[in-house]
Structure 1
Amino acid sequence: MVTIYDIAAKANVSAMTVSRVINNTGKISDRTRAKVRKVMEELNYVPNHNARSLVLQQTRSIFLLITDIANPFYTTLARGAEDAARKNGYRLLFGNSDENLAKEADYVQTILTTRVDGVLVAPAGDPSLPHLEALKKHNVPFVLLDREVPGIECDIVLGDSKDGARRLVEHLIGEGHQRIALVNGSSSISSARLRLQGYQEALKLGGIEYRDDYLFEAGFGPSHDPRGIECWFEGLAEQPTAIMAGNNVLAMAIIRLLRERGLKVPDDLSVVCFDDLGPFAEIDPFLTVAAQQAYQFGYLGIQLLIDRIITREMASPWNKIVLPADLLIRRSVKRLTPAAD
């Protein structure tokens, strides 16, 4: 196997000079650098990056920990993260917590015992704080995606959940709806809290009284209980004319529930939701949504993380990027006449 000493002997330079050329460090003349690289090519030398990582304490690996890979939002986010990582010479490792704190804790432990340069993480919710504190304690750079966690300061990429939710409800009100319900994620998730705030703000601006019975909290991911949504819906004294879903997973659960009861969207009940349906939306662009820039979440998150990896010893200010959602009006909302309410 060719070593740096073989290259040094043939190029008539020191082994240290060869090492500096390989690692792109130190002051070396362009002429010497070119000579060393030419010998490396002649000898078909392949640098041992594993050995290099031990010296530089870098693995060129980044871990992406998300909450629900089945959700098209996170699937597209992961694609953006992978593209940005590969463009910058990093490998992307992956974990899926399923919105489960115990599973998230296991992944964090894996991250701490597996040498990675940094982590992109969409936390399960506010109780994720100890997991993030563990990363910080062990000097693992990380960037949060989609959700904030009170008590932790770090770089973060968020969507404008409050504004997107407000615009969805304003659209419903503009179409004549007054009885608007919200099926949302847990209040322990920052994005769910902001979507509730946007919902409430739109009702207030539209002169509509907020009703406690028109709010149901479910899980955002695969852990949500469809039976819970069913019981809530059946127990309503007055059926709403429209439902806003806190995300696309909940929207699909609601539409399935309505179909099981022979109810049609939007003829019998209008439905809108936060987040688009990914490639499924291209087959039948049916659902009115506040579509987030999922690809940019991952792409920008990687860029922030790499910057933090490079400057981890510097006290640079934390970055917060808030991406607006696009209101896509389709066919899932029925226009009501004033007499309908």
Structure 2
Amino acid sequence: MVTIYDIAKQANVSAMTVSKVINNTGKISEKTRARVKKIMEEMNYVPNSMARSLVLQETKMLSLLIPDITNPFFTTLARGAEDAAMRLGYKLLFGNSDESLTKEKEYVDMILSTRVDGVLFSAASDLSEPHLQTLRKHRIPFVLLDREVPGVESDAVTGNSREGARKLVEHLVGLGHRRIALVNGSLSVSTARDRLDGYKDALKLNDIPFDESLAFESSYKHFEDEGMLRRMLELPDPPTAVFAGNNFLAVGLIRKLLELGVKVPDRMSVVCFDDLGASVIDPFFTVASQPAYQFGAMGIQLLVDRIKGATTPEWKKLVLPSELIVRGSSGRPPA
């Protein structure tokens, strides 16, 4: 691990001078400051106040970075991660990116300065790849949770979104629906692409042609686009059912449908990915429920195994199944 003494030797200055550059104190020429900073960057040096941790090369701290702490799926995932971390003798630092790449980068910078032993990382989108490469550059182990990122190979715990989506749509087909809309998250997120593929799989298996006019892209965080919903309802042959890419999309959809006088499931069935638990919305959702707690707990175990060198060099990929739970939000299409 690079220390300030290594930097000082390379820059031909004293360790005190390096310390002043790091802390932005003291009188140092701009030329010297620039040279020291350049060497720090070249040697991948990360300032760290935890001296004892630098010596031991471990902090017994892990970080969990998730895209939306308000979503019950990620809340439960975080609880599973925390319980597993405590059981294994680690403390867990939480970060919530709010699906924002800017905020995610700020958390990655914090992770580097804190020098945690490893990170559980649920990416904001495919564009999170540089943030993960930064962690790899600084030799901080990470495990991807729920979402994969193109171009990044690592240990991962994901769900079978494609299979879960297929089950939900086939459930609707079994009830008699043929016009089934999809309101999905951004296709820059791997789970949204997988759920679109599962939706298409179910249609193809049941000889229902894919209709682009029934596939809508929104955000996993919320659904507030009444215009999108009106366009859906005003189609010449409108849908009788909607598959929502996650629970928050489903909540927003039902609220907007009720505001427009469309009863669920009498006039429109709604199904979604991920459970809401004790939902305040009536009817309860028909869902593809994922074992969120196990995502977090198994992710921590994979991460600790990687930190301790207790696993093989090959990356481990754990894919957890979803469970179809049929409730009151889905019914037969209107006559």
Q: TM (normalized to structure 2)?
A: 0.81
Q: How does 1:1-341 map to 2 (within 5 A)?
A: 52-222=52-222, 225-227=224-226, 229-230=228-229, 232-233=231-232, 236-280=235-279, 286-311=284-309, 316-336=313-333, 340=335
Contact kept, 8 Å, 2:155 with 2:316, in 1: the verdict is yes
Gaps of 5+ in 1: 1-49
Distance 1:251 1:194 in 2: 18
| Identity %, equivalent residues | 59
SS at match of 2:279: helix
Q: CA deviation at 1:334?
A: 1.5
Contact kept, 8 Å, 2:146 with 2:159, in 1: the verdict is yes
Q: CA deviation at 1:100?
A: 0.8
Q: CA deviation at 1:227?
A: 4.3
Amino acid at match of 2:287: V
Amino acid at match of 1:260: E
Amino acid at match of 1:191: T
Cα offsets for 1:219-276 (capped at 9, x unmatched) = 1125x65345445435533320000000001001100110111111101100000100
Q: CA deviation at 1:125?
A: 1.2
Flag as ranges the 4+ runs of structure 1 deviating above 6 A.
Answer: none
Cα offsets for 1:293-326 (capped at 9, x unmatched) = 00000000000000111118x8621000000000
SS at match of 1:262: coil
Q: CA deviation at 1:332?
A: 1.1
Distance 1:317 1:150 in 2: 18
- Backbone CA RMSD of aligned residues: 1.9
Contact kept, 8 Å, 1:73 with 1:278, in 2: the verdict is no
Distance 1:221 1:187 in 2: 14
Distance 1:297 1:206 in 2: 32
SS at match of 1:81: helix
Change (3 A) 1:84 1:236: same
Count of aligned positions: 286
SS at match of 1:263: coil
Amino acid at match of 1:146: D
Change (3 A) 1:285 1:119: farther
Distance 1:284 1:238 in 2: 27
Distance 1:204 1:225 in 2: 30
SS at match of 2:140: coil
Cα offsets for 1:156-203 (capped at 9, x unmatched) = 000000000000000000000000000001111111111001000100
SS at match of 1:279: coil
Amino acid at match of 1:257: K
Contact kept, 8 Å, 1:273 with 1:288, in 2: the verdict is yes
Distance 2:52 2:185 in 1: 45
